[in-house]
Amino acid sequence: MSAPSGPLRELLEHVLEGEPSVGDEVDAVFRRADRLRRRRTQLLLGSGLLAAAGVVAAGYLITTTLLPGAPPTATPAVSVPATVRPAPAVSEAADGVREMVEPLIAGRGLGIKSVERGDGWRRYHVVDGDEPRGAIDVAVYDRSGSYCLPVKADKKACARVDKAGDLEFVRYDDVSDENWQVRQTIARRPGDGRTIAVMATGKRDVGAARGKPGLTGAQVEQVATDERVFDAFGGEACEKGCPPFRTPVS
């Protein structure tokens, strides 16, 4: 096909003036089609994600509302062991005999400075302030059978006894020696032969006034004939290392 003649060419150029070329128009069409395709793809992907999220949410709701919940985890009870308080230990210094003797000494304005003790015997060192005032000796013996309380002047004789309840006793006071004044009582329970000797001695070699015993003769008798003193010794019995009584319990 031959090209248009001169007048026709001029007319066509005038009509097509300002119009894009055919090649540019084709490129524009393809670009618009590509944008539409990408937009549809994005819409499809977004719809798919929304649908998946909806399915997950619906499944969670069904699980939490329709299915029974898992039982709560039980916390094991922890048993706290009860605090065991040890029983208080009995003090070795506990002395029921002293409880009988000390109030009598205190009533005379005296005190006990120190204590010596052994199986079946006690010795209480008496003081007047800081000044020694002799000692109080108390001992218990097992003297069952036909034992009789001694006579100081005759070891083979039996003393005439006094009575205090179920007890027999004899007083052996001797204050004739001003340098060693002694007040002593021996008491015996005939039923089981338990025998108590109590002796109060003053400080020796200091004269009659300063050498008086810490207890009177009546107080010594009171201690020796007190059943609580027998009980305070429990099962003790003096056999060795006993105090040297002025009148021994042979």
N residues, the chain: 250
* β-strand partners of 139: 121, 197
User: Residue type at 201?
Assistant: T
Place of tokens 């894009």: 20
| Distant-in-sequence, close-in-space partners of 158: CB < 8 Å, separation ≥ 6 | 148, 149, 150, 151
SS3 151: strand
CB 214 within 8 A of CB 110: yes
Instruction: Please give the DSSP secondary-structure letter assigned to residue 18.
Output: T
CB 120 within 8 A of CB 141: yes
Q: Give the mean pLDDT of the chain.
A: 81
DSSP per residue, 9-74: HHHHHHHSTTPPPHHHHHHHHHHHHHHHHHHHHHHHHHHHHHHHHHHHHHHHHHHHHHSPPPPPPP
- In whole angstroms, give the CA distance from residue 231 to residue 220: 17
Note the pLDDT tens digit of each residue in 60-92.
Answer: 666 666 555 545 555 555 554 555 444 444 344
Place of tokens 């008496």: 126
CB 128 within 8 A of CB 109: yes
Instruction: Please give the DSSP secondary-structure letter assigned to residue 229.
Output: H
Note the pLDDT tens digit of each residue in 46-64.
Answer: 676 777 777 666 666 666 6
Task: Name the pLDDT band for 209 (thresholds 50, 70, 90).
Answer: confident
pLDDT given for residue 65 in this prediction = 61
| Distant-in-sequence, close-in-space partners of 45: CB < 8 Å, separation ≥ 6 | none
Instruction: Please give the DSSP secondary-structure letter assigned to residue 248.
Output: -
pLDDT given for residue 53 in this prediction = 72
Specify the higher pLDDT residue, 21 or 113: 113
* β-strand partners of 115: 124
pLDDT surpasses 60 at 4: no
Architecture of domain 96-233: Sandwich (2.60)
Note the pLDDT tens digit of each residue in 163-191.
Answer: 999 999 999 999 988 888 999 999 999 99
pLDDT surpasses 80 at 129: yes
pLDDT surpasses 90 at 222: yes
Task: Name the pLDDT band for 15 (thresholds 50, 70, 90).
Answer: low
Q: What is the mean pLDDT of residues 210-214?
A: 91
